[in-house]
Structure 1
Amino acid sequence: MILRKRSLATALVLAVAASGAIVAPSFAAANAANTVTIWNGAETAAKDAQTPIIAAWAKTQGININVVYKKDIRNEFIKAVPEGKGPDLMVGAHDWTGQLVGAGVVAPIVVGSLANKFSKDMRSGFTVGGKLYGMPIYTENIALVYNKSKAKDPKGMTWEQLLASDRGVTLPWARGGTANDPYHLSPIATSFGISQYTRDNSGWTKKIGYTGAGADAYAAWLVKNGPKFIDGGWDQMRCNIQNGGYAITGPWILGGLAEKTSTKLIMPDGSKKDCVGAAMTADEVGVASFPSAGGKTPHQFSGQYGYWQSVKVAGAKNAVNVGKVLRYIGSADFQGQFANIKGAERIPANSDALAQLTDKRLAAFGAAGQNAWPMASYVFQDTVWAKIGAAEKALVEGTAKGDPGDFLATAMKALQSTIDAA
């Protein structure tokens, strides 16, 4: 599937602030006990906004931070750790956790008093087998984005009303193509009481959750309402928001809304419409929670980022200092500084840092994502995205055969068989 969300590489990289280049501190290694090595996926030190904050704090504790920038960070980490090499800490996306734990290269962490600063869902993104393996630092989720100056506040509106509004709703979609998007449709699907997988106290199971009466109702809703969405590539989505439309998107859209746009919209009937959009101010950007299409609580997906601790740290001379650095990374001080960097567009994982956000747009994304569920990280996840998306796309485009509910049930039964055989 095509996700209109930041990749890890982009998520770790910030443009250098207009006031001047970010100069990384000196990371010269001292003795082993006082040095903590971190692997980061940023291209260069100048594009790493995290480590300077960590290093400044660490210096006050007598700790030296040695940062190494890796392009293929995950695979190199998995290869290096069993050889006794690699870093003490690595930063990345939560859906790597399953693979890292399976490879035996990361250790469970102890967060202590920080535990109540992260929601259960936030912790579940880095949890495997009931154990927490990663320290969450920030999260991303979708919401309903609109122009306060040109569109009505969507609070209290139904999906049917939103779709029937003057500029409608833009969805990352490609009618007639191969793209499909269960990621952005998730808040609608889950409002019918269904989910990608069923959930228990530990999080996701391996049982597909698009089943039963809720799935039947969702399929019928897609057939009726899916064709009413406006196709939304990057420029189309920005332009429609700027002109008073609504869009299902995330904080990665914010920078684009501050730039003027000229493009063609692909309307629900397939026609193309010229669109010119004026740059929006931050105060004009509205971010709202999703309405419920099916009567139950909508749950969009969240993408989380955090730090893992290598198994090689246990018993090492610097183990105590690694723990100190990891706990600082989870603190409101670090996450608040990082999130409030101009252009960062990050939603802190720590609830205290979230409360201190100066960017009201990000705070609104955080509020809209309180019921978000972390994406699953199974090895067969790509297949699940593709199969659910293909079924949804067929229902929307009218190529599904027979009763909508039966069509979706048949597709999900086949998908479950694929998972069971994996």
Structure 2
Amino acid sequence: MPASPLSPFERLLVHTKPPFSVHIRLYHPTYSPTFPATHLLSFLPLSSKLSLRHLSPTTKAWIDSANPSVFSNLTIHFPLTIFSPEQLSALHNTSPQCQHLTVTIPQHPSPPKPSDVPPLPPFPRLTHLHLTALDHDPFPNLLSLRLALQSANIPLLTHLTLTNLSIPGILALRWGPFTAFGDAGWTGANIWHRLESLDVRATGWWDEAPQLQEHETQHHSILNADAEASETEPEKARRHKEDWRTGTRVLHDWLHSFAADASLRHFRFEWIGGEGPNPFLLDDIVARDGKKEWFSAPGIRWNGLREVWLGNIVVTVGDVRCLKERMAGLERIVVAPEFLDAGLGGRLLVDGDGRMWVQVDVEGESVGEWVEVWSEPVEAIRRGSYGEGLVGEDRKSMVLPFILDLSPEDGSLV
């Protein structure tokens, strides 16, 4: 059966017939015959682009070759629960165009069997991975995701965002040579060594029961989820102390695995829901509290860091001095204004979500236009409650989000 002839619109897309007179090109040397098609594409909504993909092979190729592609921004759930050839084919056909991938670990998922989870497809253009864990204890699925990422083809990943990261999540993501659940090896670790920007929004592992409301205190230890609810108060206090110590060691060790990479330039760390310790100075905090007998790890020195953002973390003059000593190339320290200690000031900044920040003086000289920033003493700050919530992605991005629906009802996305 002979192929049907191309429509005038399809001929325009494949450039078989110049849409305008050659005199236009002589009049304007930079004119391109593809201009009408690309100009039209800029006005089409996402729904129209997706409909055009199903119209014909010509329109599908035109949409898929667009820059940015309609599949530049994908969202998937992990573990992957797709098994039909049509659904797997759809994922493999769209992944080469993806530049920003959001992976969500659903709440209370059933841990997958390794043989049941299909491997991740190649993501040759992926530069930004955003991982969100909805469950408080996502360990089995995060571990499966880490192993899948280390075996996948993701050569260009430079920006990693981790949202709602807990200590069990960090345990699953540790990839160093002495981890208890399999190290990444020299090939699998490449995905972590190439990072240029790391953005972490973490949940605390400590428990300040006297300051919390009743419903906030009646929960199990995040590191001992099977603890008995009927345990005595001394047992709870002892368990909370162990949680603090274990969490401190785990976080310090995980951060240390990134320190030697000169490619990592930007690090943003924010505690979700309230104030927490400075993750870059955990050893110093333990030493000041006289608890070095259970924490003997040395301070972390960073080879490449240029910019540090600290959310819900008190920063003092001594902290700035210590960070400068450990980060030789440090150029910017950015802190929320309400967490600046007395004596510190800086330049006011506004991020993409409209939040106010302060760029603290690092070199001992004014940074831009110097402004006076009001700050409370550290003790007053620690008595307050600053629920900042989650910080969204940079709103300057013009990439249209696309939710990849691979449900059994619709396996036709190819």
TM-score range, shorter chain: under 0.3
| TM superposition score normalised by structure 1 | 0.19
Determine which structure has greater relative contact order: mean sequence separation of CA pairs < 8 Å that are 6+ residues apart, divided by chain length: 1
Name the structure where strand makes up a greater proportion of residues: 1
**Larger-Rg structure:** 2
Name the structure where helix makes up a greater proportion of residues: 1
| TM superposition score normalised by structure 2 | 0.19
